[in-house]
Amino acid sequence: WRGDCAVANVRSAMLLDASADWPIAHADAVVCINMAHISPWAATVGLLRNAARILPQSAPLFIYGPFRQHDVPLAEGNATFDAALRQQNVEWGLRYVEDITKEARDVGLTLDQIIPMPSNNLSLIFCR
């Protein structure tokens, strides 16, 4: 999409391990779509750690996907999806927003907004 839009302020796609240190020193925003539930927990922790390191004050970390919340009943479709993910790989599955928020807080990020999205997904917006 970057090539089709011919924008100069968006990096080219790069292969990286979300759980490892990123070869990036600065970003104006970080967008992560549909990763947390289909990767080990260490990838989400790495995403948060790296975003906190490279984002300036008030710049957003945007995380989108299906999540769980402690005081919100899990939609039947998400429960089925979660079970199927865990059956494929025991390190996968829908993450609790509260667990992500705690890890984010530990690296200096604050949950700014939770935005309900179609198909029982959420957008989580964190800032430094």
- Residue 16 belongs to a domain: no
Task: Find residue 122's DSSP bridge partners.
Answer: 65, 116
Q: Quote the DSSP letter at residue 35.
A: -
Q: How many domains in the chain?
A: 1
Question: Domain containing 50 — which CATH number?
Answer: 3.40.50.150
- Residue 6 belongs to a domain: no
Give the model confidence (pLDDT) of 6-46 as tens digits.
888 887 788 999 999 999 999 999 999 999 999 999 999 99
Q: What would the mean pLDDT of 72-77 be, rounded to a whole number?
A: 96
- Residue 102 belongs to a domain: yes
pTM of the model: 0.92
Q: Are 70 and 126 in contact (CB under 8 A)?
A: no
Mean of all residue pLDDT scores within the chain: 95
- Residue 74 belongs to a domain: yes
